[in-house]
Amino acid sequence: MNLITAFIELVSAGSSFADGIRAMNSALGKKYTHTRLRQWERGDGRSPSHDATDYMLSIVLSDELEKEGVKATKSKQIIRKCSLLRKK
């Protein structure tokens, strides 16, 4: 399983894939579609932006850490350390 598949499965289980995409678009100020996420999942075309990758990572990692009993404050610290580097 890859990050994008894990993200899709997680948001689909919580409500709906469409709701998950809407939340991501709202958080990032983008207009990603179901098709775009499926393309990323298959590795077709462009890769997700750093912001989109960081967003999906934060959702998936937060869920996995919660399952392991990691407190929310510690989880946020860990997730911040896992974000992608950006060129300045």
pLDDT at 87 over 70: no
> Contact at 8 Å (CB) between 26 and 18?
no
- Spell out the long-range contacts of 38-42 with Cβ–Cβ below 8 A and sequence spacing 24 or more: 40/4, 41/2, 41/4, 41/5, 41/8
pTM here is 0.88
In tens, the pLDDT along 5-35 reads 999 999 999 889 999 999 999 999 999 999 9
pLDDT of residue 7: 95
Distance CA 75, CA 88 (A): 26
The domain ranges of the chain are 3-81
